[in-house]
C-alpha cells in the first residue's frame, strides 16, 4: 500500500470524526454558557441578534479549548473503528509500521496546533475584547467611555506609582479628584512612601505634573509616623507618566496577544508588582495550542494498546483522558498563579507529562 493512499484514507476517516466532535463540543459549550447567562439576557431585554453576535465572538475562545478534546476523541474513535474491522491488524500484517500509521495524524495535528496558535494570537484577543464591549455596554447598558475621557481611572504607573481619579480628560491633560500612591519594596513586602490626594492635576511638560488643592503624606520607613503637607499648588517632577497613558484601557490577559502581554509584564516588573499570574498566562499561550499534537501523541498508541476495544469505548476513554488532562492543566495553572511553581513549568507541565506517557506507551506497543 502506497504511503499517499494510506495517509489519505486515515486522514479522511479521522476528519469525519474530528469535525463532528468539534461541532458537538462547541455546541455543548455554547449551550452551557447560554444557560448561565439567560437571566442577564432576560433582565437586559437583549435582542436575539445581539445575543448571537455575543456568541459569535465567544466561539474562537472556546475553539482553542475544545480542539484538543476533538483531536483525542477522533484519534481513539478512528483507531477503534480500524480495530473493529481488523484494518489495523491488516496494515501491521502487511508490513506497515505503527510509525507510518500514526504519521499522518501527528502531521495533521502539527498543522492544527499552528493554526490554533495563530487564532489564539490574532483572533481570540480581538473577539474577547468585542465580547466584553457587547456584554458591558450593549447588554448591561453601562455608559461607554468617550474617547479622550476616562472615568474611574485606576492606573499602575512607573516606579511604583498607582494613580486613581474620578476622571481624566486628554484634551486638557487634566485629572479631577486624583490620588497617587508611591510604593517601594518587593511585592511580598510593599510599603508606601507617599500619598497625594488632590482636587485636580494637570500635565505641565514631559516629566512634570501640577497638583492643586490637596495634601501629600510622607510615610517614614520603619515607623508608624507620617508627615503631611497641605498645598494649593504643587509641582512634581521626574514623573514618567504621559497623558496618553491614562486613556489606554487596562486589558485582561485573554484580551492580549503574546507580545502585548509580555510588554505588560515588563511594565509591571519595573514597578515591583507580582506578575506570576500574567507570566503563567503568557506561557499558556505557547503551551495550549501544542496540546493538540501532544494529546494525539498520547492517544494514538493508547488506542493500539487497547486493541480489543471498540469505538464506543474509545470515546469513553477519550473523555476520561481529556478530563484528566484538563484537571492537571487547571491544577498547575493555579499553582503558577500563586507563585508556587515557575510559570513556564505551570504552563507546560501537563504537556510534558502526557508527551512522556505517550512515548512510553508507543515504545511498549512497538514491542
Per-residue pLDDT reduced to its tens digit, 116-173: 999 999 999 999 999 988 998 888 877 776 667 888 888 888 888 999 999 999 889 9
List, for residues 46-58, the tens digit of each pLDDT value: 899 999 999 999 9
For residue 285, pLDDT over 80 is answered with: yes
Mean pLDDT confidence for 280-298: 94
pTM more than 0.85: no
End-to-end CA distance of the chain: 23
Q: What is the pLDDT of residue 146?
A: 67
Q: What is the pLDDT of residue 1?
A: 52
- Whole-number percent of the chain with pLDDT over 70: 94
pLDDT, greater one: 78 or 337: 337
Mean pLDDT confidence for 336-353: 95
Distance CA 78, CA 311 (A): 7
List, for residues 178-228, the tens digit of each pLDDT value: 999 998 887 777 889 999 999 999 999 999 999 999 999 999 887 778 899
For residue 318, pLDDT over 80 is answered with: no
**Which of 30-34, 179-183, 217-221, 248-252 is predicted with the least confidence, judged by mean pLDDT?**
248-252
DSSP conformation class of 97: -
In the structure, what pLDDT confidence band is assigned to residue 99 with cuts at 50, 70 and 90? confident
Distance CA 326, CA 67 (A): 12
- Show the cell assigned to 328: 492537571
Mean model confidence pLDDT for the chain: 88
With residues binned 3-state (H G I as helix, E B as strand, rest as coil), the percentages for the chain, rounded to 5, are 65, 20, 20
Start-end of H helices in 271-310: 276-305
Angle between helices 98-122 and 276-305 (to 10 degrees): 160
- Show the cell assigned to 46: 437583549
Q: What is the pLDDT of residue 93?
A: 79
For residue 236, pLDDT over 60 is answered with: yes
Distance of CA 5 to the CA centre of its chain: 39
CA-wise closest residue to 62 among 33, 88, 82? 33
Contact assessment for residue 365 and residue 305, using Cβ atoms and an 8 Å cutoff = yes
Contact assessment for residue 215 and residue 229, using Cβ atoms and an 8 Å cutoff = yes
Q: Considering all CA atoms of the chain, what is the largest pairwise distance in Å, rounded to the nearest integer?
A: 91
Amino acid at each position: 500500500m502506497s504511503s499517499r493512499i494510506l495517509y489519505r484514507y486515515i486522514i479522511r476517516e479521522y476528519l469525519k470524526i474530528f469535525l463532528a466532535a468539534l461541532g458537538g463540543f462547541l455546541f455543548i459549550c455554547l449551550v452551557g454558557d447560554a444557560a448561565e447567562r439567560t437571566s442577564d439576557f432576560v433582565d437586559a431585554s437583549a435582542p436575539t441578534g445581539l445575543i448571537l453576535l455575543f456568541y459569535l465572538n465567544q466561539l474562537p475562545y472556546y475553539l482553542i479549548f475544545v480542539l484538543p478534546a476533538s483531536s483525542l476523541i477522533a484519534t481513539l474513535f478512528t483507531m477503534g473503528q480500524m480495530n473493529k474491522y481488523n484494518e489495523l491488524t491488516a496494515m501491521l500484517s502487511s508490513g506497515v509500521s505503527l510509525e507510518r500509521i500514526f504519521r499522518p495524524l501527528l502531521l495533521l495535528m502539527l498543522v492544527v496546533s499552528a493554526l490554533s496558535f495563530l487564532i489564539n494570537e490574532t483572533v481570540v484577543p480581538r473577539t474577547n475584547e468585542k465580547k466584553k464591549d457587547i456584554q458591558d455596554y450593549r447588554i448591561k447598558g453601562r455608559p461607554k467611555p468617550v474617547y479622550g475621557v476616562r472615568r474611574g481611572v485606576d492606573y499602575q504607573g512607573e516606579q511604583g506609582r498607582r494613580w486613581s481619579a474620578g476622571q481624566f480628560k486628554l484634551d486638557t491633560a487634566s485629572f479631577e479628584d486624583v490620588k497617587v500612591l508611591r510604593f517601594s519594596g518587593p511585592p511580598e513586602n510593599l510599603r508606601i512612601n507617599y500619598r497625594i490626594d488632590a482636587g485636580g492635576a494637570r500635565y505641565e511638560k514631559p516629566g512634570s505634573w501640577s497638583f492643586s488643592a490637596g495634601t501629600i503624606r510622607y510615610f517614614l520607613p520603619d515607623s508608624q509616623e507620617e508627615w503631611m503637607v497641605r498645598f494649593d499648588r504643587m509641582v512634581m517632577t521626574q514623573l514618567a507618566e504621559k497623558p496618553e497613558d491614562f486613556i489606554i484601557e487596562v486589558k485582561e490577559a485573554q484580551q492580549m496577544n503574546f507580545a502585548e502581554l509580555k510588554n505588560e509584564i515588563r511594565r509591571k516588573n519595573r514597578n515591583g508588582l507580582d506578575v506570576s499570574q500574567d507570566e503563567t498566562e503568557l506561557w499558556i499561550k505557547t503551551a495550549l495550542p501544542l496540546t493538540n499534537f501532544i494529546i494525539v501523541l498520547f492517544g494514538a498508541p493508547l488506542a493500539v494498546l487497547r486493541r480489543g476495544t471498540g469505538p464506543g469505548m474509545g470515546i469513553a476513554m477519550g473523555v476520561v483522558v481529556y478530563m484528566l488532562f484538563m484537571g492537571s492543566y487547571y491544577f498547575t495553572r493555579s499553582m503558577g498563579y500563586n507563585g508556587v511553581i515557575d510559570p513556564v513549568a505551570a504552563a507546560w507541565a501537563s504537556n510534558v507529562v502526557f508527551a512522556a506517557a505517550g512515548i512510553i506507551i508507543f515504545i511498549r506497543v512497538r514491542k
